Amino acid sequence: MRLPRKTLIFAGIGSVLIISVALFSLLRMFYPVSPGTILKIISERADLEARDVLYREVREDGVTWEIRAKKASYIKKENRAFFDQAEVKLGLADGRMISLAGDKGKFDTITGNMEIWGKVSVATASGEHFTTDDLQYTAASKTFHTASAVEMATSRLQIQGVGMSFSLPQRKIVLLSRVYARIR
């Protein structure tokens, strides 16, 4: 007597499930893992980890942060958040917006300082566009700065240099060395 094909498939799936449960039970018996051990391992790395993150903050001085990231981790004792594939919108008190993007980022939740690195691009509402390898933002002076090579483009200008300081209150950009400019 031959069994129907569906019966054989269900019997096979049932056998695999029973064997899996038995193996899982044996492994748990010989290698017990307590919830405290799991939490201890995670807490040494970060207090909080999440994927597809949106972080918003409005600071006392009127500056707003909006950070989107594929992955983020937060370490409370250091007051630092780390981001992978970060897209940042920095809104200034006067209404100007600056957009940044990079492979990785670090944000100090107390000072408001930020570092972003890995294919960094910056765009301002007035049409300037920067690219560099790494960029730091200092909240106290409201300046961006880098020691890396920088390329800047506007509708009329293309500038390259090494090292940059970009003061938001003074609306002043300084390229520090090896400056090359091209007017369109």
Q: Are 113 and 106 in contact (CB under 8 A)?
A: no
Q: Which residues contact 73 (CB under 8 A, 6 or more apart)?
A: 45, 46, 48, 49, 50, 81, 82
| pLDDT for the residue 160 | 92
User: Do 56 and 14 share a structural domain?
Assistant: no
More confident residue, 97 or 63: 97
Q: Do the domain assignments include residue 41?
A: no
Query: Residues 162-168: what's their mean pLDDT?
Result: 88
| pLDDT for the residue 40 | 41
User: Do 112 and 25 share a structural domain?
Assistant: no
Residue 134 pLDDT class (50, 70, 90 cuts): very high
More confident residue, 100 or 23: 100
User: Do 168 and 122 share a structural domain?
Assistant: yes
Residue 147 pLDDT class (50, 70, 90 cuts): very high
User: Do 52 and 21 share a structural domain?
Assistant: no
How far is the C-alpha of 7 from the C-alpha of 29, rounded, in Å? 33
Q: Do the domain assignments include residue 37?
A: no
How far is the C-alpha of 25 from the C-alpha of 18, rounded, in Å? 11
For residue 128, what are the CA distances in angstroms to 5, 61, 72, 142, 162? 67, 24, 28, 17, 17
Tokens describing residue 158: 């293309």
Query: Residues 32-47: what's their mean pLDDT?
Result: 51
What percent of the chain is modeled with pLDDT above 90?
A: 17
| Predicted TM-score of the model (pTM) | 0.66
| pLDDT for the residue 31 | 60
Q: What total of structural domains would you count in the chain?
A: 2
Whether residue 29 has pLDDT greater than 90: no
| CATH number for 72 | 2.60.450.10
Query: Residues 123-152: what's their mean pLDDT?
Result: 89
Q: Do the domain assignments include residue 40?
A: no
| pLDDT for the residue 41 | 39
